[in-house]
Structure 1
Amino acid sequence: MNKAVVTKPNSLQWQFFMGCVNKLFNPEIKSRFNSLPNPNKAQLKFEVEDKLKKFYLKPGRKINFVFQLIHKKDLRNIFIDDDDPYPDVGGYSVLIRDTSKELTPNHNLTEKDIKENMKSASVSLGWIAEKLNFTKFISIIGYESIDYSKRKPTPALNKVINPKIQLEYQSILDSRFPAGRVPWLGFQAGQDFRNHPLHPSRGYQWLFQSKLGIPCNDK
């Protein structure tokens, strides 16, 4: 038994889980959990699923078999018909998925492979209109860009994977690492009548600002 998952092998929730597993491989055995009240069984199922989920999400080596504990009414939503006598303990069944032969992508990307460059600059011009009760106006012209100085991210996948899958992963990476540039125009207007810029006790301040990006035809 993996101690990373089961810290207390004699706990009630793991006895319930092992009872469901044993029932799957030997449907003739009787389980003492059949007579347990439904709320108690639901709580045990929740605790087992929570432990398994945390274990599966941990980084580390590949897991060859994945277990899932579900209610028997949900079996028909997966692959089991109502008439199929799938083993259960008190209405709960175990599903086991063999992932040992499944191919998983290895992007194999590090900071040395991809270097993201972000650039930005702006110039602003402001003035105060005394006739408008000292309202401040600021006009801004700016430019922002992002690109990659080394190489475009590409998935490093097993050679037996279909080229269509390669393209699907590439589209995901392209959406995660977009390169582009955008010039923009900004405008601000506001007033500040506070009695102190950091610790005001009276007065008020308001600010209106807008920003308009100009599309670029990047390819």
Structure 2
Amino acid sequence: MRVLLADDHDLVRETLAAFLLAEGFAEVRAVPDLDAALEAIAGDTVFDIVLLDYTMPGMNGLDGLARALAAARAAKLDLPIAIISGTTHRDLAEAALAAGAAGFVPKTLASRAMVAAVQTMASGEIFAPISLLMQEAPVDQVLAGLTRRETDVLKGICEGKSNKEIARDLDLQEVTVKLHVKTLSRKLGAKNRTHAAMIARDSGMH
């Protein structure tokens, strides 16, 4: 199975690509933006599925999905194109599916579930996790509800700083920063500090 993965976050792109390859996918072409994805769709390689990050450069919301679907039609390909996202909104998932996406895949999915989702969509079925479609609280609402200190710590994580660097910047003990990271990760439904940064970044925090 050949996968085209487009995501502007280097770590996410490389991690997902490496994982899919390790799970036996024949090829994973990883590109950093929509233009590169459109070029790959129009190229010589015939992919079984395309995964587009919702917030990467060129996407402009679901316009990017429409452009990718149009590129596939122009190349006479019946190509499943799915949206992947670090933030999970029920409204966004429903809008993506209504716009023709093969699925809406949260980056929070466990690895085996991610593989199953990709295989499901490549076989022509639609994928969206039930838990997501039932989810009500938008991430921006959760972010707005963080304490000032939690927000400061999260901004430090988004800047790629270690707990020690954040502690120094905020004049806190490192153990206090670790506690804030744990609390804000739980509030955001993040698996770890990297995932918390991804969620915050996809919601517009830099």
TM-score after normalising by structure 1: 0.24
- Could you say which structure has the higher helix fraction? 2
- Bigger-Rg structure (1/2): 1
